[in-house]
Amino acid sequence: MSGSADREYTLGDYRAPLGDIGFILNHVSGIADFDFWDREFSGEILQHAAKFVEGVIAPKEPVLDTQSPRMEDGRVKVSSLLKEIAVQYAEDGWFGLNVPEEFGGQDQPDILSNAVLEMICGASLNAGMLTSCPPAALKLLVGEGSEEQKARYVPGLVSGEYASTIVLSEAQAGSDLRLIRTTAKPDGNGDWTLEGGKVFCSNADHDITPNILHCILARTEGATEGTRGLSLFLCPAVLPDGTRNNIQVTRFEDKMGIHATPTCVVNFDAAWAEMVGEPGEGLRRMFTMMNAMRLDVAVQGIGLCQIALQRGSAYAAERLQGRSLGKEANGDTVTINHHGDIKRMLQTMEAFALGGRTMVYRTAVELEKSQTSPLAAIMLPVCKVFVSDAANEAAHMAIQIHGGYGFCKEYQVEQIARDARITRIFEGANGLHATNVAVSLQKPAGQAAAEAFTADIEAALEAYVAETGRNALQQPLDDWLRASEAVENMSDPGMVAYDYMRLTGLTAFAAAWARIDAAAANAAYPARIKKIAAFVRDYMTPETEFLANRICGYG
């Protein structure tokens, strides 16, 4: 794999950072500790993925952004370019990458799918939205479905015959699933019929695949209130006899970003469905899919950080403006990447991309060990929030680097900001995740997660050889521990929950960079890694002290 630092970028193009991905995978993520990990084979897979992303997906994205879905005869039609991507993706077998061989898949670890999705989202979040849903549904079915359900749906999801959705939100029940009103009634034949409406349903209808499998939370008649009364259902758009199910898209949203993908309002009018598991088990069984999709949002954030960095770096290397203030200054006009403020933004974006990648990949490895890992329980929301926030910050930095041109569409950085904004909202709004993490400290499961988090940071401390590095990571850990104690004792930590989440994310980010720094000799350009590690240590992570002081002062 070639290192990203030796790649020559053209303005606007996406190039897969295979060197960085391979470095983090093989030397930092922990996946190499597993006997099943084949470094050479995984490298070949990623090379093929990069070729597909760079050659097929990336060139279509500028046009995809201008081609919104349309309604024809009550059905959603999408861009022919999006269809081409989806069809080739399925034909090349990518949907089966991490599916067990017994179901026609390649049985590769989930982390490899995360790396492929990162590349796709860097090139096109539109394509990433389309390709990330079936793997999450496959994870749900393989882990939670009955043998009959696996046989009925898994082959179609692997082949691309089925697309899929996760259908949770309702007009009155966005993040608060306790308020779900969609109901399920027995149909007299052992299955169920669904009545109700859902909103913000990504890819709920389109003309790409012959069928779409909706994974839905609904309340059975007489079920208790709250989330304990929810059950999980599988509801195909086309029934086994070939007729269409009673599902109707009443509208799709005109969105700020991800213009090519349909986000729909859907009504279920006595729609046939089958239950996964038993009544009342819906939320517990859905968590397998929800965990996968929340990590996917963090993966999307890495891709967005990467493309913001690439476009910002390429422009800054060519744009002549002003004189250098450095020691090498001779009065000549220089490219803007010589200016300290631009260097700060470029180094921040690079730190976000590498550090966020490490946080997400290590969480994927933790889930490989156990889907109920206490460390994963806290790192899933932390990754989702921290990396999606980083993607939004990186997008705005890329615009700023471009100056007035960044506000125009020609240089393709304003789109990064438009697309990135949704990552802070869907799969659980960031503020909700922050509040849940803060409140969880007062519960046994949250305490177990906090203890696992502390142990992980302490393990990262051991990776540092230099005393300066250990001290730089010890400070965020100390800040996090005293803030955690303050939050645990608050009757209502809501006002400081986001600060606490930011502090937790920065502490995990500092630990990620401790591990990256320790493994720098294995990178294609060790000096580059050392330079960014020092920037993170000296410039970025001192923010933890300020955050801890604010949290403790408020408490």
Q: What is the pLDDT of residue 471?
A: 82
Phi first, then psi, for residue 163 (nearest 5°) are -100, 180
Q: Which residues of the chain have pLDDT under 50?
A: 1-10
Task: HSE, CB side, 13 Å, CA atoms: give it for residue 68.
Answer: 11
pLDDT digits (tens, 9 = 90+) for 338-373: 999 999 999 999 999 999 999 999 999 999 999 899
Q: What is the pLDDT of residue 74?
A: 86
Amino acid at 197: G
Q: What is the Cα Rg of the chain in Å?
A: 23
pTM metric for this prediction: 0.95
pLDDT digits (tens, 9 = 90+) for 288-336: 888 889 999 999 999 999 999 999 999 999 999 988 887 676 778 999 9
Amino acid at 35: D
d(CA 541, CA 502): 11
The two structure tokens encoding residue 111: 């982390």
Amino acid at 243: T
Q: What is the pLDDT of residue 1?
A: 31
| Residues contacting 328, CB < 8 A, separation 6+ | none
Q: What is the pLDDT of residue 5?
A: 39
Q: What is the pLDDT of residue 4?
A: 39
